[in-house]
Structure formats: C-alpha cells, structure tokens
Chain A
C-alpha cells in the first residue's frame, strides 16, 4: 500500500492536515441512515452475496440478497459495512432501495440514485455510493454465474489494467465511472472512486483516461465543419480553446496560452498549475484531440516554452 510517490503540483495543506479537517455537510437523511442503519446483518441462506473493499482501503461492504421463490425479485437485503458515516448510510440506503426489485431493475440502480436517495452526498464521499453499486453488481454477477472476482481490491468483472495501485482500481472501472458521472478532473475521480487518493502516482494516468473518455463524447454529437479557410480555422481554434479547453484547466488551477498557429500546427504554452506539471503531456494530447474533433483531423498541438 502507498508507494510514497509525491503528487505533482504544489502541496495543499489539507492533504496532510488530517486531524483538523472536519466535515459536517451530511444531510438529515444521511445522518438518519448512519445513526439508525436499516438492514444490518447477514442472511445465512442468501441467494447472492457481493463483497468489495478491504480493511486496508478504509472501507468495505458485504451485501446479502434473498430472492423470492421464482428467483426474480429481491425480498430481503442486508449489509455489513466497515467505513465512514456515508459508507454506512449508503449501504443502508441501498438495501432499502433493493427490496421488491427484480435483479434487472436492481442492476439499473446507479450510484447517483443512491446518493439522491440520501438527499445528496458531499462530493468527497461519492465513492461510498459507488461502493454500494459495485457490491450490488458483484452479488448479481456471482449469482448469475458471471466471472468470479479475482483479487479482492480489484474491481470484479472489470477487465483492464490496474491504474491506482494503492486502491487496486482498473482503467475500465475508472472509465465507466468517469463516463456515467461526467467527471472532468482527477480530483473528482478521486472523490468518486478513491483512485489517486493514496500516493497520487497515478494522477497523470487518470488525466489521460479523462481525456480519453472526453474524446469519446464529442465524436457522437459534434459535427465537424467541412473545408475551412485559414482565417476561419484560426478563429475556430481560438474559440474552442477559450470556451471549451481553458475552463477545464482552470478547474484544476491550470491554464494555457495560445502562442501561434502555423498551418495545422497549434503552439500552446502551459501556465499556472499546468506549467511543469508532470501530466502536461497528457493535457497537450487532450487539447489536440479536442481540436481534431472540432476543427480538422490534421491538427497537431505542440507544447512550447513561452
């Protein structure tokens, strides 16, 4: 656990000040489900059991499902949770939501719906709702004879490479969460999945995954203009950088400046947190993809000092 590598970018105090940070942003519904959790315990003759997380990760959930005689609907659900208040409340909420649902209906429950059931969760705690949804998927997959989960930290039935070694989280799982929750910063991904919240060594890879997922979306909706005059092309590049790219960088405390456009080569310089950031290479790739999708396929983005 914890490979001790230091995250890029300047240090923020709260990363180290763990004793003096408090968070009392929970809704009454979260408090209620935390203080008086529903459906705590085991079902000895459960039809489906799903287990995710570990002691080392700081939270874990074991979910038990009992089906009716036709093996269609969930008649009972119970849980055991090790974790913070929102992990316990999310588990309690999930078991309440599951009762009476068919397995297919249950699989449609998203982590957002778990959070909504509780009147919302602080973003830092969204990973608790994701954990509930994950345990549910594991339980149903196992019941249906799906692939048996491997290593306990690895997101079960999620193929792919492990990205976050601290918490054992794979790229496929991260892409799914990024897509479903429309995440666009590495910090958000940490809040939702914990990935990157340990040593921080995988933050550049998380940024690359975000860029990849973002790259998927505009392709479906955006129509690329036809042949452009040089002037129009330059205008379009500027518009995309101003309206779509820079706001995303600002969210991470970064920025970029357009230095020059020569033919299809766009020269940019990174500013603020992006300057010297270890993942600026990925950011440049992301900018390139964005411009290729919106302007022309032959655009090349070059990072320059300036």
Chain B
C-alpha cells in the first residue's frame, strides 16, 4: 500500500539529495574529524561546510552553531547551561504547551527547588505577553518558549517575547524544531539567545540536531570530555548526520518559499474541505498565526485512535491529540491547556504536510476522512443522538 504521509511534525522523509551527500561518510570517508591526518581532515572540512550551511539558514555565525544529537539535547543543554551560568537566579519560565523535551526537564528542576512558571495560553493557543511581563523578574535565569507548537502549529511572537525577557537580564531560549525550515529566521536581528533545532524534522536523518548559542552568551556544556565542537559538546561527531543536516538546511532555505505558498495552500484546502464536508468540526488554534504545514482538527463525538487506525487502513498517516494511544488517558496537554472541550479533544487529529505532499494526497485524505468520521459517529451513542438531531 502506498503511504500518504501527513505526519511530518513527527518526522520527515530524508531528502534524496541529503542522503547522497551523507552516503560517502559511512564506508569510504569514515575518518575521525579530530585526526591529524588528511583522511580525518577532509571530514573536518565537510563538517565546517555543514556548519556554514546551518548558520546560513538561521542568519547566524558558523561559530554560534553547536552540533548535537537531537532537539531534546539542545533543550536540556540550554536550560541547564543558563542555570549554571546564573547560579544566583532560581526561576525558570516556560509554557504549558511546550514539548516534553522542555516541560519534563523544567518539572524535574521544580522538584529540585527551582521556581518554575508555566505560562498559560488562550483558547486559540496564544500566549499573553502581559502574563509573561508579570512573571519575569531579576530571579529569572532562563525563559524557554517554543517557536511553534508541534500539535497545533501555533507560532508564538518570539521577538516580542525576547524583548520582554531582555528587560530583566534573563536568557531566552526557544525550541524551534518545528519552525526551522518552515518560517524564515534571522538570528542576526533577533532577541533569541539560544535556539534548538532537529535534523529529522527538516528532511535530514534522525540522531542529529544543533543548538544555536549567540556569541557572548555564557554557555556551560552538558556533555564534557573531548574538545569536539570547541569543547562545548564533547563526543565524536555524528559526521554523516551533521553533513546531512547541513545539506538539509541548505535545501530548507531553497524550499521556504514553496513551504509558505504551495504547502500552505494545500493545508488551507484540506482544512476548508474538512470543515465544509463534515459537521461539528473545529480547527484547534485556527484563529492564531500558524505554521504553514500544520492542521489540527477536532472531530466531535469520535475518538482519535479509532480515526487514526481507520485512516491507516487506507494508507493515511497522521497523528492524534487523543491520549488513548499513550499510557495517559487525558487528552493532550496542549489541547487541555487551550481549554478545548473534552468532547473535541478526544477526537483531535493532526495532519502535518511537507514538500513531498501532493494535491492528490490531499484529495485522498479528504475523500477517505468523510466516511470514516461518519462511520464512527454512527457507532457512537453520542454521535447517533447528534445525527438524529442534526
């Protein structure tokens, strides 16, 4: 069965050009970039190129890029680094809708005596800048707020947030794994101090990421050992992964326009058609500024896992904001923070598109989703009540 992949916020297909770029660095050019001989040196040069490419996408200087293993590592590193750099400051600010890669370390730090403020969001998933302004103080070491939400695609006003954070001298970190490659970034004119990104979210391989650290921002490494990454991230480089990330960043710059025009148009069409063809549907975060590729739809009276499995039978891959697929039984913390009613949150589905999504894919999703929702509503005691009334 040919898959229709609409789960690109979970992970993406490695671009063929990226794969070609990394391929020689397994069996042929396998040298260690730290070695003194020519064989390692040629890998080092390629890593430098990857650093330049990654920096270019972010509008950063190459020496501001630290390669690492994943977005989670970048997030953990940034938060811990800020706390070590400002030991007298004991306050952390984040939001209730962060990815667990930020939320979990923050909540564990709260258990160790740090004061943690989790900012709330409104019904459309938007932050209140006034709430942030009231929360940040001279005790705040770091503010870590995501650039764009993985579930809803809601984009936060990062520069305005950064300006508020700067007033009190705290560091500002943003988890930008969902934003890089989807919206234009320019660190040269930004208030961001640190930014995490992940390779596999932008058509590079899994197991590679990067942390941007602005020149002059105090930094304490998480991994210590050798002198790799100028001692800011010890450990032998994932050479092929880093080279893949560099190429993926170069391509992402070229595809930014496509992402914001063609991909956005497909997303908008998918959303409009679902709303037109299926009653009692809402778009989570629909009124907020959002990523061009993400669409989170809540279908009332049906449960997310059932929708996902029936779509999977038709080859469609998406993901659910429902909790029934995980160990937890409440709907996603993001939808809960937004106050999405339980009746909707249990039946929320996220479609996330990419440059590989085609108009035919969108046609197929629209064609298949309508009878699936109708079938599940007919099965449901509540759906029946609704259908009888409707």
Chain A interface residues toward B at CB < 8 A: 1-2, 6, 10-23, 34-35, 37, 40, 42, 51, 55-56, 58-62, 80-85, 87-88, 124, 127, 166-167, 187, 190-191, 194, 197-199
Contact = CB atoms under 8 A, between A and B. Distances in A.
Given A16-B104, A18-B321, A18-B328, A87 B151 contact: no
A18 B379 contact: no
B378 to A, nearest CB: 8
A40 B342 contact: no
Contact of A19 (B10, B336, B380): B10
22 contacts: A1-B342, A2-B330, A6-B107, A13-B100, A13-B104, A15-B327, A16-B104, A17-B326, A18-B322, A19-B10, A19-B332, A21-B327, A22-B325, A60-B381, A61-B381, A82-B380, A82-B381, A83-B306, A127-B329, A191-B327, A197-B327, A197-B328
Please classify the interface of chain A as helix (H, G, I), strand (E, B), loop, or mixed, using the class held by over half of its residues.
loop
B319 A81 contact: no
Contacts of B59: none
Interface string B324-357: 1111111111001000001100100010000000
Given A18-B326, A18-B333, 15 more contacts: A10-B108, A10-B111, A11-B104, A11-B107, A14-B100, A15-B327, A16-B104, A18-B321, A19-B150, A21-B327, A55-B301, A55-B342, A85-B309, A197-B327, A197-B329
A51 B342 CA distance: 19
Nearest to B309: A85
Q: Which of A34, A55, A166 has the most CB of B within 10 A?
A: A55
B124 to A, nearest CB: 19
Interface residues of B, number: 48
Given A19-B9, A81-B380, A84-B303, A58 B309 contact: no
A13 to B, nearest CB: 5
B313 interface: yes
B153 to A, nearest CB: 12
A19 B329 contact: no
A88 B325 contact: no
A23 B325 contact: yes
Interface of B: 9-10, 99-101, 103-104, 107-108, 111, 150-151, 301-306, 309-310, 313, 319-333, 336, 342-343, 346, 350, 378-384
Contacts of A190: 327, 329
A124 B327 contact: yes
Contact of A88 (B306, B343, B382): B306
A34 B10 contact: no
Contacts of B322: 18, 58, 84
Contacts of A59: 303, 324
A194 B306 CA distance: 18
Q: Which 9 A-B pairs have the closest CB atoms?
A: A197-B329, A82-B380, A84-B305, A21-B326, A80-B381, A16-B100, A18-B332, A84-B324, A62-B381
A58 B327 contact: no
Contacts of B321: 18-19
B343 A55 contact: yes
A12 B327 CA distance: 10
A59 to B, nearest CB: 7
Given A13-B100, A18-B331, A194-B329, A80 B9 contact: no
A19 B151 contact: yes
A108 to B, nearest CB: 26
Nearest to A58: B346
A19 B319 contact: yes
A131 B312 CA distance: 26
A126 to B, nearest CB: 12
Contacts of B305: 84-85
Contacts of B384: 42, 80
Given A13-B100, A18-B323, A51 B381 contact: yes
Nearest to A23: B325
Given A18-B322, A55-B342, A60-B381, A82 B329 contact: no
Contacts of A37: 379
A2 B319 CA distance: 23
B380 A16 contact: no
